[in-house]
Chains A and B, each alone.
Chain A
């Protein structure tokens, strides 16, 4: 006994197009001002269609075809009630809904006085190009009965060619196939006999007979989907980079561990060298320089007025002495500092603090001596 999990699978929607029979539309070739502005062209065509149609535009499924700077547009429309509700079911998610003849219009302009005969799907359609504008000047369609034979087809063909008038060239379209492409493609592929034409979705939208608001919404959805696709790609790229970064972090971490291990191994030896260096310096200092606190005290005691009493002295470096003293005669402080400053061997005298309470003042002085203030031959002592 086997069990299987019926997990939902995300399947891509297939794109499809809805091709309508041409004979259900009235088709006219109308003159237009032309120009590069697509919105202006559309308004012009709407006006032309309104003037020729017995129904308001809102009651029509209509589309058109023109080319940039062309003075002519092919307009087609059909009364909405001619399409049953079940026929409209597929339209909602179709990429393109247009009469069959629309697929032919993106082709390269034929020479003037050429008729394209498009047979099949229960109808025969003639597209007559009276000039080289690339927009048919006349389009005629006739339906064919399902049981129509070759003779009936030939008869209908001849009739349509005659309706077109002056024809110098007749092109019979043997096969016409419209490939909707895959989701995300920006074009439809039209295969006629052995030739292939690409119809961009923007061009296809002119030919589309659906409601203009719906077409605008579809265009917005396409733009939105394009941006979503770009963000999707950026996200995937970010994930790829994060994956590469993860690998790099892992490799760096391994490398770093090796180096930290090396540091750990070297640290005792380096500490030993550092200590040796520090102690060598210290011994050198011990040999050549000596802290001489009593000499310093003797020097600063020389000019001391009787009123100043030392409370604390501290040798804060080889050549500096901090003095904390008290006096009942604050005027003597300045005299004493002045005397110290003038003293041979002192580099600087700095008052760190002065605190007066009543007649008693407590001060802190920092006296810095020059290196040769205590001129004594230390090396001579070492040697002796």
Chain B
């Protein structure tokens, strides 16, 4: 091949070199770019697989922990989403603030063994004492019902007039088949 190449005229050599050089550079850089991207993706995939493997390895342990977590709980005292809303309405009625109550169910998080249901409550224009009564009654349902977020506002004009916003969650244990 050396004789073939060296036997070319200078301009033929230059053109051949230009053509082959450009092809080589374009192809090599293209392969390099794709290879680099693929290498990065492969590394990310390896990490994802490792993370998945770790979760899969811990599957039995997590399931055992989840079982243990609900072991102390009485499934008859747990609340599904509907029961939770009803219970909160009952508690508000008992505290005489049911007319000030607005509730909105949030998406539930479920596993095969249990789920956690949430409701966002808004209590407008309530007094401190009625709110405290509602809170005390709610506290008695712990740990089946608990408050996760709480905000209390008072009007500048009347500090006795309060508005509260709560995110209340309940545990629901799936009944055994």
Contacts and interface: CB of A to CB of B under 8 A. Distances in A.
Is A bound to B?
A: yes
What does DSSP make chain B's interface, helix, strand, loop or mixed? helix
Interface stretch (A47-55, A77-85, A167-175, A253-261): A253-261
Contact of B8 (A13, A242, A293): A13
Contacts of A14: 7
Chain B interface extent, by class: 35 or more
B117 to A, nearest CB: 11
Given A182-B7, A235-B20, A270-B56, A291 B13 contact: no
22 contacts: A11-B7, A12-B3, A184-B2, A184-B3, A185-B3, A229-B2, A239-B23, A249-B31, A256-B38, A266-B52, A266-B56, A272-B112, A273-B58, A276-B111, A277-B62, A283-B70, A283-B143, A287-B69, A290-B143, A291-B146, A291-B148, A310-B159
A223 to B, nearest CB: 12
Contact of A238 (B25, B109, B114): B25
Interface residues of A, number: 70
Interface stretch (B42-50, B90-98, B99-107): B42-50
B83 interface: no
Contacts of A40: none
A287 B151 contact: no
A309 B24 contact: no
Given A228-B17, A256-B41, A280-B62, A290 B111 contact: no
B38 A252 contact: yes
Interface string A5-45: 00000111111000000000000000000000000000000
A382 B141 CA distance: 9
Interface of A: 10-15, 182-185, 221, 224-225, 228-229, 231-232, 235-236, 238-239, 241-242, 245-246, 248-249, 252-253, 255-256, 259-260, 262-263, 266-267, 269-270, 272-280, 282-284, 286-287, 290-291, 293-294, 297, 309-315, 326, 378, 381-383
Contacts of B66: 276-277, 279-280, 283
Contact of B31 (A235, A246, A260, A310): A246
B9 A13 contact: yes
Contacts of A15: 7
Interface string B1-42: 011111111101110110011011101101110110011011
Given A232-B16, A279-B111, A239 B143 contact: no
Q: Which residue of A15, A239, A273 has the most chain B CB atoms within 10 A of its CB atom?
A: A273
Given A184-B6, A283-B69, A259 B49 contact: yes
Nearest to B35: A249
